[in-house]
Amino acid sequence: MSTPPPSGRGRPADSSGFAWRAFFHQSATPIFVLGKSRRLRYANPAWEKLAGVKLAEALGMVCSQRRHSTPLASALAPTPEALAGRPDRARRPAPPGRNGPPWWDVTFAPLAGDGSPREAAPGPAKAGDALFGFVGFIAVVGEPVPAAARKVPPSVAALRDRRATHFSPDLLAGESLASARLVAQTRLAAQIAAPVWIVGEVGSGKETVARVVHHTSALRDRAFVAIDCAGLQPYLIESLLFGHGGLSASDRLGTVYLKEPRALPRDMQQRLADHFTEPTSARLVCGSERTAQAAVATGELVPAFQTSLSAFELHVPPLRERLEDIPRIATRLLNRTIDPAALAVLRGHTWPSNLRELVDVLHEAAGEGRTGPILREHLPHELRLKAGLMRAGPPKSLNLDAILEAVEKRIIQLALRKANNHQTEAAELLGVFRAKLWRRLDALGIPIPPQPPKPRKE
């Protein structure tokens, strides 16, 4: 339904309006009117159709080309010439659509205080010659170019092919029932266009699954962008997505992966939700340790994420539920087999940090024995210790201090990993003060990891 014609139809202008509203309302040309503070005061149904936005939702929007402006606000921003009270025209990229931008030629006609068009005068506006605002007429230039038809440089195409080969559903396959279910769910998510919510424990492979969904979907020729909502300041995320020339202005954006959107302030969550429920924007995939429903219930997430942005919920199993997959993962990762005794140790571990931890352990083991199968003695000391295997060694190797030190080192590394290198959180997990954690890092020779930026609290 289009916006009803504004009141005062056909009547002469009064001091706050102008007489052409009824005329504009029926025009097939997209027309909009900005107040002198560049706020949107009126737009006709042809504009609503072109912009894909209802006037009621956009009224009051400040149309400027500032860093945080939306692509629509930037496209409608009056030029410096128009701001100086003279008619002007500008070519603007249309707000992003799935099929590439045609351009918008926007003609600005300044309006005098009585609502009549100002005379085109060569100099700046005179005092007393009050400006009411601007009327803008939009002409669409060019045919939209389907993204698939656009040329990409060969190097980009080659990189894309390599990524698509790597991030195929095969990457998730294994011997377990859990991985078979994961592969089936991932293929399904790739076939539909709905937003996806991926749930899984820390390090279980949520982002990897998101990449597989992207590279298997119809959006694979476009970009995949991953944003860690807890690791970036919200204003950076806003400017990355919505700033001038930001990602939302690019029609090459295919999938946006948001890691833990519940770490964002609610107003930012709402803005993202509004953006990604628009039909023209890229596909949203979120990854979290909690379901959208649970996060909404505890107030960590705005309801739109549950109602509109988690249409497809995909569960990534923890590694302890897919231990049968370990040999296959090792072969894929290192092209190495695992000796049965080493496998018994690996299968006996609970893997609190899931695949991330396994990948670290396998790389470490591969560094110990450079060729042949991975043996039990290649595995990290602490893992063997936990499996009770160190006790089988000769008594002279039972150096209590060395063992305790190794266990402490491993536990601190695990806490840091779980806290995403956030030292205060890691200290809390370990039940010590941060200063003590620093002292132990120093004493054990663990390099102090770079601290991620703190998420802003509401």
Ligand X SMILES: Nc1ncnc2c1ncn2[C@@H]1O[C@H](COP(=O)(O)OP(=O)(O)OP(=O)(O)O)[C@@H](O)[C@H]1O
Instruction: List residues binding ligand X (CB under 6 A).
Output: 171-172, 200, 202-208, 259, 287, 329, 333, 355-356, 359
Residue type, 61: M
Integer Cα distance of 326 and 319 in angstroms: 9
Q: How far is the CB of 417 from ligand X (least distance, A)?
A: 9
Q: How far is the CB of 298 from ligand X (least distance, A)?
A: 19
What's the closest the beta carbon of residue 333 comes to ligand X, in angstroms? 6
CB of 343 to ligand X, least distance (A): 16
CB of 314 to ligand X, least distance (A): 12
Please give the Cα distance from 91 to 85 (Å, whole number): 19
Q: Which is nearer to ligand X, 96 or 231 (CB)?
A: 231
Task: Report the alpha-carbon angle 110-115-117, nearest 5.
Answer: 40
Helices (H), 137-225: 154-166, 177-191, 206-216
Shorter beta-carbon distance to ligand X: residue 367 or 395: 367
**Structure tokens, 116:** 């009549």
Work out how close the CB of 357 gets to ligand X at its nearest, in angstroms, rounded to a whole number.
9
Whole-number minimum distance, CB 209 to ligand X, in Å?
Answer: 7
Q: What is the dihedral of CA 321, 414, 170, 293, to 10 degrees?
A: 70
Angle between helical axes of 326-334 and 354-368 (0-180°, round to 10): 60
Quote the least distance from Cβ 347 to ligand X, whole Å: 17
Q: Which residue is nearest to ligand X (CB)?
A: 205
Q: Tell me whether residue 125 or residue 333 sits nearer to ligand X (CB atom).
A: 333
Shorter beta-carbon distance to ligand X: residue 74 or 269: 269
Q: What CA–CA distance (Å, rounded) separates 110 from 120?
A: 9
User: Residue 333 or residue 390: which is nearer to ligand X going by CB?
Assistant: 333
Dihedral-angle region of residue 269 (phi above 0 means left; psi in -120 to 50 means alpha; beta otherwise): alpha
Nearer to ligand X, 64 or 185 (CB): 185
Q: In sequence order, what are the residues at sequence separation of 6 or more whose Cβ sits closer than 8 angstroms to the Cβ of residue 354?
A: 200, 201, 202, 203, 204, 205, 318, 319
Q: Tell me how far apart the alpha carbons of residues 416 and 340 are, in angstroms, rounded to a whole number.
A: 30
Nearer to ligand X, 204 or 217 (CB): 204
For residue 438, give the amino acid letter.
W
Of the pair 86, 336, the CB lying nearest ligand X is at 336
Q: Under a CB-based contact definition with an 8 Å cutoff, are residues 234 and 264 in contact?
A: yes
